[in-house]
A and B are shown apart, each in its own frame.
Chain A
Amino acid sequence: MIITETMTVRDKLNILSDAAKYDVACTSSGTARSGDGTGMGNCELSGICHSFSADGRCISLLKILFTNECVFDCKYCINRASNDVPRAAFTPDEVCTLVMEFYRRNYIEGLFLSSGVMKSPAYTMELIYATLHKLRKECNFQGYIHVKAIPGAAQDLIAKVGFLADRMSVNLELPTAEGLKLLAPHKTRKSILTPMRLVQNKALENKQEIMLYRNAPRFVPAGQSTQMIIGATPESDFQIINVAESLYKKFDLKRVFYSAFIHVNEDKNLPAVREEGPPLLREHRLYQADWLLRYYEFEAGELLSEEYPNFNVLLDPKCNWALKHLEYFPVEVNRADYHTLLRVPGIGYKSAGRIVKARRLGTLAFADLKKMGVVLKRALYFLTCSGKMMYPTRIEEDYITKNLLSVKERLPDGISGMSYKQLSLFDDVNFRKEQFIVHEGVKRAPIERMLG
């Protein structure tokens, strides 16, 4: 432990941004707000990426911890109480100056403030509130703020913070309560879901207030999000997307983030170190499925099942679904409704929208589809234009699979290393055996019970 009294802002920023880097969300989307001309800042609905770090992730917000001192001892976390790492804490003033000066130079879109638990959840939340209050009221900052609600803090405090922030999030940490008990002994599913429910209810209440009084203050206008660690506990993809689906449906979350587990601590309860690094392909597949849930009207149960609990490494979830449901295809571009078009591999929700609008003004041919952004090398097996397929192809699972694999999916660079790895029947999950046995009973029911 290093004594923090003499630290400069630069040292603190080093320590506290390094400690915050495992938080996934760095989005600044979801709020549109013009500046009122008296302060600094506004918000774009789409969000703005200001830079990209060497790991290819977007830097949009000044992502820092208020402090990395922590009384909790979560096994996977670099800042856990039992780790001997340099500790530091900002003061509210320091955070405000950094945000204002960075923002003014267009380095950042706003602040992402998280924190370790210093002394107690209530004490930490109080400090976070003080910081945001100063930033909003004294510095007159009108940019984006994403803040973490600390599980266990008082309800009214969380509510007060929500009126200053654009987005709030409580980390679910691990997909199941069993995993949480094993790896985060100081947190329970209940202590995490309570603030989440609170934020949801408050936001609902606020929506009605705004309907009545247009200028009522807004409570987390960009909604709430959460994140789970993938690969630290042996849940299947099926369980994970079921949890995500319940969160979207029952807690009105805007986003669920998945973070591939990274080894920072040695602990007997964590999976063994794996040579190939964090399970990035699995994370990628989960995000793809997440998009299907949010934008493509899919349900978790359609993508995976108890019998096939993990995603195909070779095909994306949508192609995979289409190949198992060839009875719906081919689809006629000029007549099929929007919802059917959404399910065609190679057609995104934007191009589906464009197709629906454009065909009112004329018949579409394959060449037109290409211009609208449809990925024909995937879509051509599932579409007809005016009754004709693009090439004479067969509607057979094996035939299409073979062809789809030969065009090679464009994975984000760096996680395409799969082609050199020996394929295993058990997909991308290789846990130690005993962990499988311990958790065999974990099925869908307990997840629903927990979230219900």
Chain B
Amino acid sequence: MKKVYICSDNITGIFSAIYDAWKEGREEDNAGISLRDNLEQELFCEYVESEESEKKAAAVVQMIKNNMGAAVYMDIYQAVLAHDKDKGNAILRTLLAARKLPDSTKIMNHLSHSGVEKVFELSRRVGGEAHQFKGFLRFKELENGILFAEIEPKSQVLSCIAGHFSDRLPLENFMIYDRTHKMFVVHEAGHQWVLVLDDVTDTAKLNRVSEAQREYERLWKGFCKSISIKERENLILQRQNLPLRYRQDVVEFQQ
């Protein structure tokens, strides 16, 4: 009988479920993964709660990296972060399909397999969203000199962009807050970044920006206005390139 492993929507959860299915030697047609908050029960299925642990997840990560290579791991990692309720299944089916290939590192080329195709698409979507936020994220300087940014992404992109900003601003103290998933990236000057699962507690502090910040915001808004060519004005194209959902925290679009 088909067995569906229930897990929570994060790296540890999904990889633990994969670990369980793998361990029991399940195949594509008799195993599934469902997210706890998005459970849609099927008939003739056995449902089990997967016991989540860092250790299981680490074993799966190691297995993927060893057998399929870092590039495939990157795709699977990004797919795990996606906002999609069926991602667990797609990833499991991809891994099981890879086992049948003579060269498992080539699995992401196997686009006629529906699981692989789904992982490919999810990975691209998450990668794309992360890339957008690398551009559209805006820091503001608080009174104490800390840089603070807020975003509202669909996928859990924080861990995809944290490295980029730490490399770019190694000597700055900065924080990025993900409103959708209630997570922070915190980077202290000269240290590694860390991911903190927590809600904002002190909003007042985060709204007190420095004097210089106001001036640079004005300068930047002025720049964005004067750089546009009137004869070519095209607001539809602008919206196509920078959709409204990204604009809520972008300073030049705030009144």
Q: Report Cα–Cα, A57/B224, bound state, in Å.
A: 11
| Known contacts A104-B169, A106-B137; A51 and B232 CB within 8 A of each other | no
Partner of A368, one of B109, B112, B234: B112
Q: Which residues of the other chain, A, contact B117 by a CB distance below 8 angstroms?
A: 371
Partner of B219, one of A10, A50, A368: A10
| Known contacts A59-B224, A414-B236; A364 and B231 CB within 8 A of each other | no
Q: Which residues of the other chain, B, contact A414 by a CB distance below 8 angstroms?
A: 234, 236-237
Q: Which residues of the other chain, B, contact A106 by a CB distance below 8 angstroms?
A: 135, 137-139, 149, 165
Interface size on A, residues (CB 8 A): 64
C-beta contact mask, B200-219 vs A, less than 8 Å → 1, else 0? Answer: 00000000000011001011
Q: Which residues of the other chain, B, contact A363 by a CB distance below 8 angstroms?
A: 112
Q: Which residues of B approach A to under 8 Å, CB–CB?
A: 101, 106, 109-113, 117, 121, 131, 134-141, 147, 149, 164-165, 167-172, 212-213, 216, 218-220, 222-238, 240-242, 250-252
Q: Report Cα–Cα, A40/B3, bound state, in Å.
A: 51
Q: Which residues of the other chain, B, contact A39 by a CB distance below 8 angstroms?
A: 170-171
A-B contact count, CB below 8 Å?
A: 174
Q: Flag if B135 contacts A13 (CB, 8 Å).
A: no
Whether a CB of chain B sits under 8 angstroms from the CB of A360 is yes
Q: List 12 A-B contacts (CB under 8 A).
A: A22-B229, A35-B167, A40-B172, A41-B168, A51-B250, A105-B213, A106-B135, A107-B138, A109-B135, A360-B109, A361-B101, A362-B110
Q: Report Cα–Cα, A22/B241, bound state, in Å.
A: 20
A67 to chain B, nearest CB (A): 16
Which of B111, B140, B237, B238 has the most A CB atoms < 10 Å from its CB? B111
Q: Flag if B228 contacts A54 (CB, 8 Å).
A: yes
Q: Flag if B236 contacts A413 (CB, 8 Å).
A: yes
| The 6 residue pairs across chains A and B that have the minimum distance between CB atoms | A56-B237, A53-B228, A414-B234, A357-B109, A413-B236, A55-B232
Q: Which residues of the other chain, A, contact B229 by a CB distance below 8 angstroms?
A: 21-22, 55, 57, 262
Q: Flag if B109 contacts A48 (CB, 8 Å).
A: no
A32-52 contacts to B (CB < 8 Å) = 34-35, 37-42, 44, 46, 48-52
| Known contacts A52-B242, A105-B139, A280-B232; A9 and B170 CB within 8 A of each other | no
Q: Flag if B167 contacts A107 (CB, 8 Å).
A: no
A196 to chain B, nearest CB (A): 26
Partner of B111, one of A104, A371, A412: A371
Q: Flag if B241 contacts A52 (CB, 8 Å).
A: yes
| Known contacts A52-B242, A56-B237, A56-B240; A105 and B219 CB within 8 A of each other | no
Whether a CB of chain B sits under 8 angstroms from the CB of A18 is yes
Q: Flag if A17 contacts B226 (CB, 8 Å).
A: yes
Partner of A102, one of B147, B218, B220: B220
Q: Taking chain A's interface residues, is the majority helix, strand, or loop, or is none over half, making it mixed?
A: loop
Q: Which residues of the other chain, A, contact B149 by a CB distance below 8 angstroms?
A: 106
Whether a CB of chain B sits under 8 angstroms from the CB of A389 is no
B221 to chain A, nearest CB (A): 10
Q: Report Cα–Cα, A228/B114, bound state, in Å.
A: 46
Q: Flag if B234 contacts A413 (CB, 8 Å).
A: yes
Partner of A21, one of B135, B218, B228, B234: B228
Q: Flag if B109 contacts A51 (CB, 8 Å).
A: no
Q: Report Cα–Cα, A280/B135, bound state, in Å.
A: 27
B118 to chain A, nearest CB (A): 9
B230 to chain A, nearest CB (A): 8
Q: Which residues of the other chain, B, contact A54 by a CB distance below 8 angstroms?
A: 225, 228, 233-235, 238
Q: Flag if B112 contacts A13 (CB, 8 Å).
A: no
Q: Which residues of the other chain, A, contact B228 by a CB distance below 8 angstroms?
A: 21, 53-55, 57
B73 to chain A, nearest CB (A): 18
Name which residue of chain B comes closest to A142, CB basis. B168
Whether a CB of chain B sits under 8 angstroms from the CB of A101 is yes
Q: Report Cα–Cα, A60/B224, bound state, in Å.
A: 11
Q: Report Cα–Cα, A280/B237, bound state, in Å.
A: 13
Partner of A104, one of B172, B222, B236, B250: B172
Other 18 A-B pairs with CB < 8 A, given A22-B229, A101-B216: A9-B219, A10-B218, A14-B222, A38-B171, A39-B171, A44-B164, A48-B131, A56-B241, A105-B147, A105-B216, A106-B135, A262-B231, A354-B111, A358-B110, A361-B109, A362-B113, A368-B112, A413-B240
Q: Which residues of the other chain, B, contact A260 by a CB distance below 8 angstroms?
A: 232
Whether a CB of chain B sits under 8 angstroms from the CB of A63 is yes
B114 to chain A, nearest CB (A): 9
Q: Which residues of the other chain, B, contact A358 by a CB distance below 8 angstroms?
A: 109-112
Q: Flag if B235 contacts A48 (CB, 8 Å).
A: no
| Known contacts A106-B149, A262-B232; A372 and B250 CB within 8 A of each other | no
Q: Which residues of the other chain, B, contact A59 by a CB distance below 8 angstroms?
A: 224, 227
Whether a CB of chain B sits under 8 angstroms from the CB of A62 is yes
Q: Which residues of the other chain, B, contact A44 by a CB distance below 8 angstroms?
A: 134, 164
Q: Which residues of the other chain, A, contact B147 by a CB distance below 8 angstroms?
A: 104-105
